Amino acid sequence: MTMRLGIDVGGTFTDVVFLKDGEIYRGKSDTTHYDLKLGFMNATRVAVGRAGLELEEALRGADAIVYSTTVGTNALIERRGTKLGLITTKGFEHTVHVGRARNWGDGLPTEKKYDRGRAVRPVPILPQDRIVSVQERIDNLGNVIIPLRDDDVRRQVQYLVDQGVRGFVVVLLNAYVNPMHERRIAELIAEQYPDCYLGHMPIFLSHEISPKSGEYRRSMTVIIDAYLRDLTEGHLLRLSDDLRDVGYRRPVFVAKNTGGLSSLSRTQALHLLGSSPSATVIGSDYIGKAVGHANVVVSDMGGTSFDVGLVVEGRDRVYEYDPVVERYRVQIPYVAHWSVGAGGGSIARIENGALRVGPQSAGSNPGPACYNRGGEDATVTDSDVILGYINPDNFLGGKLRIDHALAERAVRTKIAEPLGVPLEEAAWNIKRLIDGFMGQEMYRICALTSGQDPRDFVLFALGGAGPVHATGYADGTDVGRIATFPFSSVFGAFSTLTLDVLQTYEKTLNLNLYAHRDESYAVDNIARFNAEIDRLMAFARRDMTEEGFDMAGVQLQVEIHMCYGQQRQTLPIRVPKGRLENAADVKYLCDTFNAAYGEKYGKGAVYPEAGVEMVEMRLNAVGPAEKYQLRQIAADTDPERSRTGTRNAYWGPSHGWMMTPVYARESLGAGIRLPGPVLCEAEDTVIVTPPGWTFRVDDWNVGWIERNG
């Protein structure tokens, strides 16, 4: 018997997927922000109970627990991290405050990026009085130009200690080429504050965390990782201890935003930011291949946010190489996804006589007005209740009783009466506005990022609210096929169980590969290339062995970033053998880069006459994990056996109120076709199919909503 648990802690709900002998069991509970462990345990108890097991029995017998959490994201937003001091090279004390030319707009919504008159840079994580510099200089070749002075370091360290810092971040110029000065600073701090003292100070060195060029991004990568380390580590260690107390004896694996998972001992705090949406993209790629679709728009609408991702031409990982975390650019290979403030809990309000929805959210507590937990604002969920899409008596399988009257009161008093419109029109306009906003964002992301027509994609409607609103935001994207799954509402938790163990190692390395002047390939750089790869391979062997893998079963993938001479725009190119042996291997890389550059930017942009360079290398060490396999289901020719009744639902001004058939989604078999309007109720979501669309179930139990004609 094999048992695995996948956990996704969201802003509103905590989702759990329990995989036992190839069968999926779902659990959902309120996220308990005051103690995330409680929400996890509550949702796990529901999931394992459906498999006929007690909580302790399931945890003791689990082969793996994979955890995805928002604790780091929330701590960064609320500024609850460790009080740190930064030591940098003299002359670079203001790097993190100055940032880059465009960083005033990083992380802002599109409309605010154009409002430059009101633009402000992000609030610094470290104030200027906790940033000090030391007299030292190493050049870009690793040569010591100005030696480090120990007395200078001790003096600056003492100043930071007097400021009350509880940890040191060390980011020196060109330390990624030669880290000797960073290492010496760490030795001096450890001498003054050794491990045996209560005043021991953690030390974070940039060449260990992010050995790459780019002073601002390298600095922010190390600062954010250090800032979140204590809080994130404390939460996960407490959870690990609690699981050990009930008998779980294996590592707790953590989903990472790099698209894989690892044990706590091999995870950085920065890797947890946005880990759930990243996992959802990887899970969508896995399922997309299983159902025969290489181009997928991933949409996950929960209670607080709307996350969008792309799977393009079946590529397993589409990385964002210059990602923004909160409002700061960092240096991690981040699985590309985009989040906007739109969800079931998004608050509707009147501003200057016009209706606005989001990005503010009612969250899980108090939540929408219909939850009857003290919330008084009108939300998207309240409008769905009024429109008849959500059954108040069967929300979350009846575990959460919805108060229809409270939803009506909130929408009437907050929206309908101020605008002077009927109640159903106010609710419909809330839905139409949030759907239009999400559809517009999806279209922009899909068209600009993939460069392809969104109509060539299928849409995955995920999250508790995704299947409810999918056709609404699909209209804004012009997508005509929408896929839903029996586990759509907990797809983030499911996706954690599709991740392989992954460790990523990066290194800035500038090498010339092709010189047009004499049309030669740089054979003399092969030895240096292989030497750096060998160093990264040694790290991979250390970490993957600790993760419990035989290296014979580990996939080692080498990728380099290439560009034309003096260019900043790079493209990632896979190195098939993982090493270079001769000029033919170098020529292959250059030819592959030229072809990829022409495909992305046009054949006229290809310019090998400038020479071809590599600027960075990356090694992915992948340990394959066991994954869920879709199963075919029995055919069904009589949908009426699954019909549970009818409900009056509002389908917009052109259709008005209509008595709409309602079906139990779990009991619909393969081959069923239901023309809209129709409502298919699952325990934790509703598949809303309006007029002009048809719902059908295929052999793999995928529910498709398809536009007629």
For residue range 610-638, list pLDDT tens digits in order.
Answer: 999 999 999 999 999 888 888 888 888 88
Say if CB 500 and CB 624 are below 8 A apart: yes
Lowest mean pLDDT among 120-124, 328-332, 434-438: 120-124
pLDDT of residue 21: 87
Nearest C-alpha neighbor of 623 from the set 555, 709, 706, 683: 555
User: Using CA atoms, how far apart are residues 262 and 283, in angstroms rounded to an integer?
Assistant: 16
Residue 477 has pLDDT above 60, yes or no: yes
- Over residues 372-401, mean pLDDT: 86
Separation of CA 634 from chain center: 35
* CA–CA distances in Å: residue 366 to residues 303, 387, 467: 12, 22, 24
- Over residues 301-307, mean pLDDT: 82
pLDDT of residue 358: 79
Residue 316 has pLDDT above 80, yes or no: no
pLDDT of residue 450: 65
pLDDT of residue 328: 87
Q: Give the pLDDT band (50/70/90) at residue 476.
A: confident
Handedness of CA 595, 597, 599, 605 (dihedral sign): negative
Digit-coded pLDDT (tens) for 549-602: 888 889 999 999 999 988 888 899 999 989 999 999 999 999 999 999 998 888
Look at strands 458-462 and 481-484 and give their pairing: parallel
> Which residue is it, tokens 């996220």?
31
pLDDT of residue 134: 96
Extended strands (E) in 327-433: 328-329, 334-335, 337-340, 346-351, 354-361, 378-379
Extended strands (E) in 3-140: 3-9, 13-20, 23-30, 64-68, 85-89, 131-134, 137-138
DSSP 511: E
Q: Give the pLDDT band (50/70/90) at residue 428.
A: very high
Lowest mean pLDDT among 3-12, 67-76, 262-271, 466-475: 67-76
User: Using CA atoms, how far apart are residues 539 and 506, in angstroms rounded to an integer?
Assistant: 11
pLDDT of residue 592: 94
* Mean model confidence pLDDT for the chain: 88
User: Using CA atoms, how far apart are residues 180 and 174, in angstroms rounded to an integer?
Assistant: 10
Domains (ranges, CATH) in the chain?
79-223 (no CATH), 346-431 (no CATH), 502-623 (3.30.1490)
Digit-coded pLDDT (tens) for 127-139: 999 999 999 999 9
pLDDT of residue 451: 67
Three-state DSSP class for residue 677: coil
Residue 285 has pLDDT above 60, yes or no: yes
Angle, helices 71-78 vs 215-245, to 10°: value is 130
Q: Give the pLDDT band (50/70/90) at residue 364.
A: low
- Over residues 435-461, mean pLDDT: 83
DSSP 145: E
User: Using CA atoms, how far apart are residues 343 and 363, in angstroms rounded to an integer?
Assistant: 9
Residue 120 has pLDDT above 80, yes or no: no
pLDDT of residue 555: 92
pLDDT of residue 36: 81
Lowest mean pLDDT among 233-247, 377-391, 440-454, 660-674: 440-454
Residue 57 has pLDDT above 80, yes or no: yes
Residue 182 has pLDDT above 80, yes or no: yes
Q: Give the pLDDT band (50/70/90) at residue 86.
A: very high
Look at strands 85-89 and 168-171 and give their pairing: parallel
Name the amino acid, one letter, at 270. Answer: L
